[in-house]
Each structure stands twice: as C-alpha cells, then as structure tokens.
Amino acid sequence: MEKYRIEPGKKINLKNYSPDDLGDYDGKKQKGFEKLAECRADIDRLQELLYSESKHRILIVLQAMDGGGKDGTIRAVFDGVNPQGVRVTSFKVPTPIEISHDYLWRIHAQTPGNGEIVVFNRSHYEDVLVVRVHNFVPSEVWGKRYQQINDFEQQLAEEGTTILKFFLNISLDEQKVRFMERLEIPEKRWKFNPGDLVERKSWPEYMKAYEEAIQKTSTKWAPWYVVPANRNWYRNLVVASVIAEKLKSLKMEYPNPQIDVEAFKKQLLAS
C-alpha cells in the first residue's frame, strides 16, 4: 500500500489518482475481505499491546469530501478493537471559545497520550481547506498555516507520536450516488445535509486546496496517503493495512513487571 503514500515535496494532481483503483485486488474482492480481516485482527492485537506498553502514541487523520466515508472507515477498521485505548474526535464548526484561541489550540488538546490511538474525523486541515475555499480568512493568513502545521506535527512526532494521514479520494459522480442513497434510504436520511449540495458546487476549488495541502504537508514524520475510496471495501483495506504495518514496525513488547511471580502464586493459592 506504500504506492498511495505521497513523498515529501511531491507535486500532485488528484486527477492522476483514480478513486476506482483496486491495486493488486482488482477482481479479487473476496481476497480483499480476507486480508482486511487479517489486518483488523492485527490491529486488535497490537492495540492491546500498545495500550499495555504505554510508550507510543498514534494519531490518525481522516480527511475527505462529504460522503467520502470517514465514519464508515472508522467503523470498519476498528471493529472489535477495545475502545478503552481508542478515541475518535470529530471537529465541527469552532465554538466561540475555540475561535478566541489560535486554530491549533483545540487540536492540540485532543492529541493522543501514551498507549492511545486517536482518530481525527476531520482535523486542523479544515483551516487550509474550507477556510480557503470560502475565503473565511485572507490568503496571507491561511498561506502561512502549511508550515505551522508541519512544525506542529513535527513537534508531536519528536515527542513520540506516530502520525498517519489519509485523504479518502472519491469521485464527483460517486459522491452524487452516495448523496442520493441518503435521500432514498430512510435509515441514511439523517446523514443528509442540504449544505453538502452547496459545498459540492465548489468541488474544483476543494480539489485544488487538497492538492496543495497534501503536497506541502506530506512529510517523513507525518505522511499523507491518497486512498482510492469509490469502493468501500478497498478503502478500508488500504487504511487498515497501513495502520497494521505501522503498528508492527514499533516493535512493542508487553511490560514485564519486576515481581516474584512464584511467591504471588503461592499467596494466591493460600488465600
């Protein structure tokens, strides 16, 4: 799945990244489901190890256009994982208190602690995306934020946080299909937001904003992955595979408390 990783400084055009790509699993959907099950089992096992060792911190950033599948990705990838060590944070429109601080203030407060996985459902990148597209602040303001974000993420990384960032890449046509499902299926209707149709009109502007954000903030310490997301099962497989491999690379071990095991066994048996 490393082919979806964006190298630092690489200039990208999202038109060159097919949302329909299925990689090595084209025509192998069942094998994809089997591999996803393996990855989820690995994540479940490694998350318990992460929590017990309590040395590493994992931050996962999910960004997408409306309908891109952030919620579905979270459900699919972390299904069955002990919620004790996983936390999801969704960043909505800033509150008056949040607006009175710098834009990273509310973000920093939600970053993971030792032994914790935190998933950002949207993130600080909204401040170089929606803010840019709708001209909420001047270009000289949001233009400085790429470097500010890089510095912020580098600080987190140097303090022990592993950062993985995923752009769930769907097509404009697929977004229409998903919006129509929300209107036609009663159980999904609650997810429909009329404002999404307004945002849809700004698709080209958002693609340009995403391209620049990804290009300028995909770093060695906080890489971006452009994930083909028109097929939910493959989207989930890519994200789960990357997370599982990163967790394996941490070489974690269960703590070994310095206690006299045999003495405590005898004490317990005698109780």
Mean pLDDT of 250-270: 86
Q: Which of 136, 133, 150 is nearest to 94 (CA)?
A: 136
The pLDDT of residue 258 is 77
The Cα–Cα gap between 257 and 148 comes to 41
Q: Is the pTM of this model over 0.75?
A: yes
**3-state percent helix, strand, coil for the chain, nearest multiple of 5:** 55, 10, 35
To the nearest 10°, the Cα dihedral for 91, 92, 96, 97?
Answer: -20
136 close to 129: Cβ distance less than 8 angstroms: no
Lowest mean pLDDT among 30-44, 122-136, 185-199: 185-199
What is the arrangement of strands in the sheet containing 86-90, beginning at the earlier edge strand? Answer: 86-90, 117-121, 57-64, 161-169, 224-228
Q: Which residues partner with 120 through β-bridges? A: 61, 89
The Cα–Cα gap between 218 and 8 comes to 5
244 close to 42: Cβ distance less than 8 angstroms: yes
Q: How confident is the model at residue 245 (pLDDT cuts 50, 70, 90)?
A: very high
The pLDDT of residue 99 is 92
The pLDDT tens digits for 2-55 are 899 999 999 999 999 999 999 999 999 999 999 999 999 999 999 999 999 999
Mean pLDDT of 66-88: 93
Q: Map residue 117 onto helix, strand or coil.
A: strand
Helices (H), 5-144: 29-53, 70-77, 96-99, 105-108, 130-133, 139-142
* Tokens standing for residue 171: 């097509």
Mean pLDDT of 98-116: 96
The pLDDT of residue 1 is 87
Average pLDDT for the chain: 95
Tokens 């008056």, residue located: 96
Domain boundaries, the chain: 2-270
To the nearest 10°, the Cα dihedral for 20, 16, 24, 169?
Answer: -50
**Half-sphere CA count of 34, side-chain side, radius 13 A:** 5
Q: What is the CATH number of domain 2-270?
A: 3.40.50.300
Q: How confident is the model at residue 80 (pLDDT cuts 50, 70, 90)?
A: confident
